[in-house]
Amino acid sequence: MKNLLGLVILGCILTSSVALAEPSLLVVFPQTNYQTSAQKIFFLGTAPPDGQVSINNKPITRSKAGHFSPSLPLQLGENLFTVRHRNQELQIRVTRIATVAELPQGLAFAKDSLTPATDIARLPGELICFSAIAPPNASVSVQLANQTVTLLPQPEQAQLPNNLAALTGQNQPHGQSSVGNYKGCITLQQPDTNSFSLIYGNNIISGAVVPDSSQEVDLGQPQFQLTLNGKTITQPGNGKVKILSRAELPVAEVTVDAGVARTGPNTDYSRLTPLPKGTRAAVTGKEGEWLRLDYGAWINSQETRTLPGAVPPQTIIRSVGYRQLPGVTEMAFPLQVPVPVSVQQSDRALTLTLYNTTAQTDIIRLDDNPLISRLDWQQETPERVKYTFNLKKAQQWGYKLRYDGTTLVLALRHPPKIGNTRRKLLANFKIVLDPGHGGKESGASGPTGYLEKDVNLAVSKLLRDELVKRGATVVMTREDDKEVSLAERQAIISQEEPAIALSIHHNSLPDDGDAEKTKGFGAFWYQPQAHSLAIFLQNYVVKNLGKPSYGVFWDNLALTRPAAAPSVLLELGFMSNPDEFEQVVDPEEQKKMAKAIAQGITEWFRSVN
């Protein structure tokens, strides 16, 4: 999983030539001068099994082969660690950085604490909030468009750990002092009378004149003011505030194959259904380079172009068409303009939602179909139509969305037929195998410095051979130690349209993970169509190989996101666990693993058919 090339070999140069041949003390993680915000960190390395390894004079436990991965606490700031084995010594410096902005001393705002932190544009009537971190007992306010907004000290708010915390089971919120956290909001109304009113807290202030309501209004940069002990400073905010005009909302068109729609204005926010190329929508908000589209999702403006003079896209829909192709049913939705869409899979159903769409539908033809038992549709809101494809079987085999001009095409893939000979049960199956990482993208490292990319490839080749033995056609995303981008791997799955896609990895942990204890087999999925395969393989391998179970995770990963085929990512074991690493690199264990996964896939196919 993680990329760790912090190989530091110090001791050996100092000792005699005989010593050079002998394996020496090795720490692969952390590298010296490593920076982290974690409160503890694990050290991963190895040394000859005889003798003792100590860190800061404390002996540490090691595996039979001499590998180690103890976790050590970190103080804020610089931490110095001395790792010793016999006459070899390593010095490693790790700096722990604070996660909360430091409270400023004296008359100043905390660095980078003023928000909005970038240019924003909002609709009239929307809440706009400002915040700043400043010394306690100060008075803080914002000047905007010759109005003053008071920012008040805020009550304590919990801090959520980042998503990776789910991998170490430490994802509980932790308290965060909000001392010095000031916040205040305003709402801008823009009635026809060309005046607007400010509402913040419970007060309404009105009267200031907006030049022309049909135009976007630039309110300029908010000026943050801080008063403490009778002294005042003013600091401009980091972005401008604009009020969009409802009468002249910009219209954006998606220019990439799959525009990444998100729940908010940066990549921390979750992904929604990607928008096919050509999708158009009105822009109802901006934040930095992110655009909020009229149906609520955000997209990066770099994936769009603006259509000057266009009015907000709306369409009616009449009939829905379909055509049956070998292995696929294509549903065609003729529209006047490509509108935003979303897809949701559930058991025995797939729903497609069209936004900014109003139905004028009287007829839909859909004969008996190998996949679809019945199509239901509903005008959910005046501008949203939902289509529910009720399916004959629980397992779904992939879908694709595209716009052909203004017609949305949803291609639903049919189930592959299981082979009719006991030996070649996978005869009709194409499987994409993706050995994780490759080339200079090495993935995780084991305590000896052995790299994840190499064991991923070794086991994937063994798995390929096992699958081919069972009749499958296997397409590998790489067959040697080369770099293949995540986009290229996704494209292979989309082009090959396999029955399933499997990405093979070996795991490691975030800095504060407990590497000594954490081990086991893990399965990762994202699209509901991949869930049953993930669960099945997890149970099958854990049961049949007696492996510890690390767990099954819904995870937003490049190789679990493909919708074109059920795509699962497997973490076969931990590079960062000294004992499990021994099994990871053992060729016999690798063979057993490959066989178990291949048999698991075969049993799963039988179970879903």
Residue 292 or 505 having the CB closest to Zn ion: 505
Closest approach of Zn ion to the CB of residue 451, in Å: 10
| Interface positions, 494-513, toward Zn ion (CB under 5 A) | 505
Residue 81 or 524 having the CB closest to Zn ion: 524
Residue number of the CB atom closest to Zn ion? 505
CA distances from 216 to 142, 239, 251, 577 (A): 21, 16, 14, 58
Residue 395 or 442 having the CB closest to Zn ion: 442
CA distances from 48 to 6, 84, 91, 293, 555 (A): 19, 12, 18, 60, 38
Closest approach of Zn ion to the CB of residue 506, in Å: 6
Closest approach of Zn ion to the CB of residue 548, in Å: 18
Closest approach of Zn ion to the CB of residue 558, in Å: 11
* Helix, strand, coil shares, percent, the chain, to 5: 15, 40, 45
From candidates 180, 443, 562, 573, binder to Zn ion by CB under 5 A:
443
Q: CA-to-CA distance for 318 and 321, rounded, in angstroms?
A: 10
| Interface positions, 565-604, toward Zn ion (CB under 5 A) | none
Closest approach of Zn ion to the CB of residue 481, in Å: 14
CA diameter of the chain: 91
Residue 1 or 251 having the CB closest to Zn ion: 1
- Binding to Zn ion by CB under 5 A, coded x per residue (else -) over 238-277, reads ----------------------------------------
Residues 152/153/155/159 CA torsion (nearest 10 deg): 110
Residue 414 or 505 having the CB closest to Zn ion: 505
Residue 141 or 567 having the CB closest to Zn ion: 567
From candidates 1, 38, 385, 575, binder to Zn ion by CB under 5 A:
1
Residue where the block lists tokens 């789910």: 166
Give the phi and the psi of residue 147 in degrees, each rounded to 5: -120, 155
Q: Which strands make up the sheet holding 328-334, listed edge to edge?
A: 321-325, 328-334, 407-413, 399-404
Closest approach of Zn ion to the CB of residue 500, in Å: 19
Residue 121 or 575 having the CB closest to Zn ion: 575
Residue 505 or 531 having the CB closest to Zn ion: 505
Closest CA to 527 of 555, 495, 490, 491: 555
Closest approach of Zn ion to the CB of residue 571, in Å: 7
Measured in residues, the chain has a length of 609
Residue 133 or 457 having the CB closest to Zn ion: 457
| Interface positions, 58-87, toward Zn ion (CB under 5 A) | none
Closest approach of Zn ion to the CB of residue 450, in Å: 14
Stretch that binds Zn ion, among 47-55, 172-180, 419-427, 441-449 (CB under 5 A): 441-449
Closest approach of Zn ion to the CB of residue 381, in Å: 42
Stretch that binds Zn ion, among 240-248, 369-377, 442-450, 458-466 (CB under 5 A): 442-450
Residue 353 or 445 having the CB closest to Zn ion: 445
Give yes or no for a contact between 190 and 200, defined as CB atoms under 8 angstroms apart.
Answer: no
Closest approach of Zn ion to the CB of residue 599, in Å: 23
Ranges of beta strands (E only) in 312-404 are: 315-317, 321-325, 328-334, 341-346, 349-355, 357-359, 372-381, 384-391, 399-404
Q: How much is the CA Rg of the chain, to the nearest whole Å?
A: 29
Closest approach of Zn ion to the CB of residue 437, in Å: 6
Q: Please write down the HEC assignment for all residues of 553-609.
A: EECCCCCCCCCCCCEEEEEEEECCCHHHHHHHCCHHHHHHHHHHHHHHHHHHHHHHC
Q: CA-to-CA distance for 210 and 215, rounded, in angstroms?
A: 9
Q: Please write down the HEC assignment for all residues of 488-509.
A: HHHHHHHHHCCCEEEEEEEECC
Angle, helices 587-608/452-469, rounded to nearest 10 degrees: 50
Give yes or no for a contact between 523 and 535, defined as CB atoms under 8 angstroms apart.
Answer: yes
Residue 384 or 561 having the CB closest to Zn ion: 561
Give yes or no for a contact between 470 and 602, defined as CB atoms under 8 angstroms apart.
Answer: yes
Closest approach of Zn ion to the CB of residue 580, in Å: 15
* 568 strand-pairing partners: 502
Give yes or no for a contact between 107 and 226, defined as CB atoms under 8 angstroms apart.
Answer: yes
Residue 135 or 443 having the CB closest to Zn ion: 443
Stretch that binds Zn ion, among 170-178, 277-285, 440-448, 479-487 (CB under 5 A): 440-448
Residue 412 or 594 having the CB closest to Zn ion: 594
Q: CA-to-CA distance for 343 and 349, rounded, in angstroms?
A: 11
| Interface positions, 400-439, toward Zn ion (CB under 5 A) | 436
Q: CA-to-CA distance for 40 and 295, rounded, in angstroms?
A: 43
CB environment 351-381: b (16+ within 10 A), e (fewer): bbbbbbbbeeeeeeeeeebebbeebebeeee
Closest approach of Zn ion to the CB of residue 560, in Å: 12
Question: For 10, which DSSP code?
Answer: -
Residue 340 or 522 having the CB closest to Zn ion: 522
**Residue 391 interacting with Zn ion (CB under 5 A):** no
Closest approach of Zn ion to the CB of residue 2, in Å: 8
- CA 46-50-53 angle, 5° bins: 50
Binding residues with Zn ion: total (CB under 5 A): 4
Stretch that binds Zn ion, among 1-9, 143-151, 419-427, 513-521 (CB under 5 A): 1-9
| Contacting positions for Zn ion (CB under 5 A) | 1, 436, 443, 505
